[in-house]
Amino acid sequence: MDSLVEQIERGTLWQFPGGVHPPEQKSLSNQHPIARLPLPSKIVLPLKQHIGANGQLLVNKGDKVLKGQALTKPSANWSLPIHAPTSGEVLDITPAPSAHPSALPELSIIMAPDGEDSWCELHPVADLSSLTHAQLIDILHNAGIAGMGGAGFPTYIKADSHQPIEYLIVNGVECEPYITADDLLMQTHAKEIVQGIEVMQHLLKPQRIIVGIEDNKPQAIAAMKQACEHNDAILVRAIPTKYPSGGEKQLIRVLTSKEVPSGGIPADIGVLVQNVGTLFAVSEAIYKGKPLIERVVTVTGNTIHKAQNVWALIGTEIKHLLDCQGFTPVPEQRVVMGGPMMGFTLPTVRIPVVKTTNCILAPDNQELAQPGDEKACIRCSACADACPQTLLPQQLQWFAKAKDFDKLEQYNLFDCIECGACSYVCPSEIPLVQYYRVAKAEIREQKLDQIKAERAKERFEARKERLERDQQERQNRHKRSSAKAVKPDAEKAKVADALERVKQKQGDKSAVQAAIERAKAKKAADGSIEPDNSEVAQERAKRKEQARLYKEQKQSAQDTEQTADDKKDAVAAAIARAKAKKAAQQAEKATPDEQPNTDDAKPEPRKAAVAAAIARAKAKKAAQQAEETPSDTAAEPAQAQTDEQSDPRKAAVAAAIARAKAKKAAQQAEETPSDTTAEPTQVQTDEQSDPRKAAVAAAIARAKAKKAAKQAEERPSDTAAEPAQAQTDEQSDPRKAAVAAAIARAKAKKAAQQAEETPSDTAAEPAQVQTDEQSDPRKAAVAAAIARAKAKKAAKQEEENAQDADSTAAPAEQPKPADNNDTSENAPLTPEQKRQAAIKAAVAKAKAKKQAKEQEGNDPS
């Protein structure tokens, strides 16, 4: 297989993707030779006509200048000078409209030609070999040559490439419609173009030089081949006519099959491209010493009477070119700088010709119609098919409208060459290229702002470091000066010894005494004699003793607090044990209450027997609870006695609290009957309707009344006896006071719990008994007997409890005896007794409800 060089030498060509074939319209201007225009009345020279920074001004207002004289000098990288296109006077240096779609003002030099067209001194080069590489680069730099194909890239930067160049490509394609400037330049100045090629060959040393020209320019192809006959390294190739084959990346692909990477430049793949107009300017600068002050411009369009190419001085206003070529404007006339594909409409014709201007197009309304209103994208993909860079124009337009700059860069916006092929084929007439240009400008502005911000941050950090360094140096100087000011201890000692010797000499002391004192001073200096510090030692011992006493007091206070916490924990444990035992008893009591309801299906005598057994079990349970009450709390007094022996004051406080609790429980028990007057009337009304119900209700009521009354009497009597006894014991012995306080607390809590249980344990029975009695009179009789037995048993238990309380405590108040009028339960009841029983039952229920509500309100949980 042939190598790439062999294929190129054989004339092999490749294709690039996309592209369009718009009407050429080149015959309007390529039928006449290049014309010379008269001098304009005013020349406007913008300082910036290329990619890069402005030059530094060398002239002032009112200065006289000669043709070819430098008006600025390079001041930074990628900076090019501008030169006077003719001799004349500098009228002003002021901002003027720029050659840009926005026509934003740029600093410009305004000149008035004097008509003499006098040249300054020129320095042509006869032999290239007599100059070094750097000298040739300086000549190109000072000549102000920039890329004249439209980009405006400084030529001296390309000529001084630090990368090896394998192929030098000369761009003579000129693919855009209407433009014929390069075509006529190659036809008439092929020899000078080849001289410029040889200068670049001398600087870059490429392996091959390829001149690419579209096959629709046969005269230019012939002229270039004839001019290159003496140089075998130059190859002239005719390529197919297709737009935009004149693009740098597309021409490289057609002639070498190489592809420039995304975001890269041709030099990255060893290729460099130069326009034929740029190479002509290189030849003029080297062999004639002329700077870039004029160029060939195509003036064409249907409104131009004499369309042709002209030599236009840099800085000539567009109006002067149009007037010289017979411009006849039409309504809504447009003037385009550049071709119809990549050019832009000028806002005014007072804009000057710059180094990158290659065409002035003045079409009529039929020749280049006004674009219509932008319509919605129909997603036809014609733009993607026509893109020579294989981009996605539709998505790029969406991102540009949304100002999503990250996505634009991700989709390679800067690979777009702005050829306009996508806009040309768009059926919705969307100006895609305009969106891309605006987005590119915004991204560049954003990056410049970021660069400025980073530089400002660097300056701030450098300033901060400098200030910190200066401050550190000042501190170090201060330390050094302080160290010099402070004399060493050895020097101080020497000075003190000298003063002491002088004093000893001046005194009236004897020689022996002086010797003794000197010996003492010497021993003191050596450290052999210790100073008398007895007073200091005594003070230190006193402070140590005070600290020891303070520490002991603090430790004793901590021990006391720990003991109090231990006592509280012991009491809380005893209370918790009592609560647990009481909960177990309540669970045991709940079981027999529910059993009578399960035997309704049995015969009536059996039900009576079962009910009697239940009643006996309940009575026995009540007796056991009365016996267990002291035993449950027996552990607490012992524990409390053990805890309170260590601190009498704590015991006294606990006793006072216990007395207050007992007094409060007694008051609650006394206040209970005050709210129980509302229910007897209703109960009496219900009992009058049925004698059997009245009998059963009377029995239940008597039992409840006796139990509630005795509990109410028992609580005040028990709690009343305890405070007196506790007070007497506390006066005699603090330990007994502590024990009494613990017992009182346990009894108060026990009484409250019993008050809660009383209504809950007995609430279910009357309803069940009443229901049973309604269904059967015999059940009512059995229930009455059970109730009488319960009442009798409860009465006996209460009497026994009262006797035990009388024997164990000295009562401060005589307890009220229980009501024994109804002890004979088997005697028949009179109507008066039934009524009293009903009243007592209602009172008992009200008391139970009241106690339950009060207990729930006082319960801290």
How far CA 503 is from CA of 18, 147, 531, 541, 742, in Å, comes to 113, 99, 22, 38, 85
Structure tokens that stand for 539 in this block: 């003070």
**DSSP bridge partners of 273:** 169
State how far the Cα of 680 lies from the Cα of 688, in Å rounded to an integer. Answer: 12
429: left (phi over 0), alpha (psi -120 to 50) or beta: left
Helix or strand holding residue 94 (H, E): strand 88-97
Q: Which residues contact 827 (CB under 8 A, 6 or more apart)?
A: none
State how far the Cα of 783 lies from the Cα of 615, in Å rounded to an integer. Answer: 9
Contact 84, 66 (CB under 8 A): yes
State how far the Cα of 814 lies from the Cα of 799, in Å rounded to an integer. Answer: 14
Question: Position of tokens 């015959």?
Answer: 27
State how far the Cα of 500 lies from the Cα of 493, in Å rounded to an integer. Answer: 10
Q: What are phi and psi of 308, to 5 degrees?
A: -170, 180
Integer-rounded Cα Rg, in Å, for the chain is 61
Q: Which residues are annotated as a binding site?
A: 377, 380, 383, 387, 416, 419, 422, 426
Torsion of CA 409, 411, 415, 419, to 10 degrees: -120
Q: How far is CA 556 from its chain centroid? A: 56
Q: Which residues are annotated as a binding site for [4Fe-4S] cluster?
A: 377, 380, 383, 387, 416, 419, 422, 426
Q: Is the sign of the CA dihedral 768, 769, 774, 777 positive or negative? A: positive
State how far the Cα of 69 lies from the Cα of 698, in Å rounded to an integer. Answer: 139
Q: Is the peptide bond before 244 cis (omega within 30 degrees of 0)?
A: yes
Q: What is the separation, in whole angstroms, between the first and last Cα of the chain?
A: 101
Question: Position of tokens 């100045």?
Answer: 189
Contact 255, 237 (CB under 8 A): yes
Torsion of CA 584, 588, 593, 597, to 10 degrees: 120
Q: Is the peptide bond before 680 cis (omega within 30 degrees of 0)?
A: no
Instruction: Quote the strand ranges of 98-214, DSSP E.
Output: 105-113, 167-171, 208-214
Question: Position of tokens 């001084």?
Answer: 160
* Max Cα-Cα span within the chain: 160
State how far the Cα of 855 lies from the Cα of 763, in Å rounded to an integer. Answer: 17
∠ CA 802-806-811, rounded to 5°: 115
How far CA 437 is from CA of 419, 426, 817, in Å, comes to 11, 17, 113
Instruction: Quote the strand ranges of 664-779, DSSP E.
Output: none
How far CA 164 is from CA of 112, 159, 263, 269, 287, in Å, comes to 46, 11, 19, 9, 26
